[in-house]
Amino acid sequence: MLTPEYPLTTPRLHLRPFTPDDLDALHAYESRPDVTRYLYWEPRDRQTTRTSLDKKITRHTLHDEGDALDLAITLRTTGQLIGNALLIWTSTQHRQGEIGYVLHPDHHGHGYAPEATRPLIHLGFTQLGLHRITGRLDARNKASARVLEKLGMRHEATLVDNEIVKGEWTSETIYAILETEWTP
């Protein structure tokens, strides 16, 4: 089991569990077509965002395979919620996890995604005992690929037209890093 001490702190950010008060800020980015373009879901209305938030609120401890930390990314200076970062425990037997992140577009291009994700990778390797952490993304999402590269992850595969997402064939790119390759 892993229950981090919150907030997780970086030079510019705090990562903390979501609360009911985060609805407006979460909806501000989950409702945008430019945010959901490369994700599995369409822009969310307020009620669907509320359902999403209810799930996020419960995702702050890893008990077993399949659990996830889904944390609010906030600016240390203002407390403003600007996105979320995710660590999923994908396999106990193979000691594997996966990371993800979503940021409000107003905060793209400032290095927040790698800064927010780095502590989750660190937790995965040092406290959860993972051997390998992956990042999966729509192959068209070049900005997200750059984030994974900044984290030291390597491109391992592109699965061509492997899924139908939102009614069209899409390709998936997979990045990964091993525990022995991680430098905090």
Quickly state the pLDDT bin for 184 (edges 50, 70, 90): confident
Judge whether 14 and 71 are in contact, CB under 8 Å. Answer: no
The domain locations on the chain are 8-133
8-133 fold: Aminopeptidase (3.40.630)
Mean pLDDT of the chain: 97
**pLDDT tens figures, 107-134:** 999 999 999 999 999 999 999 999 999 9
CA distances in angstroms from 11 to 74, 116, 127, 158, listed in the order given: 12, 10, 21, 33
- Residue 1: predicted pLDDT: 85
**pLDDT tens figures, 63-76:** 999 999 999 999 99
Strands 96-103 vs 132-138: parallel, antiparallel or unpaired: parallel
Strands 68-75 vs 13-17: parallel, antiparallel or unpaired: antiparallel
Residue 127 CA, distance from chain mean position? 18
Strand partners, 168: 165
Quickly state the pLDDT bin for 86 (edges 50, 70, 90): very high
d(CA 4, CA 172): 31
- Residue 6: predicted pLDDT: 98
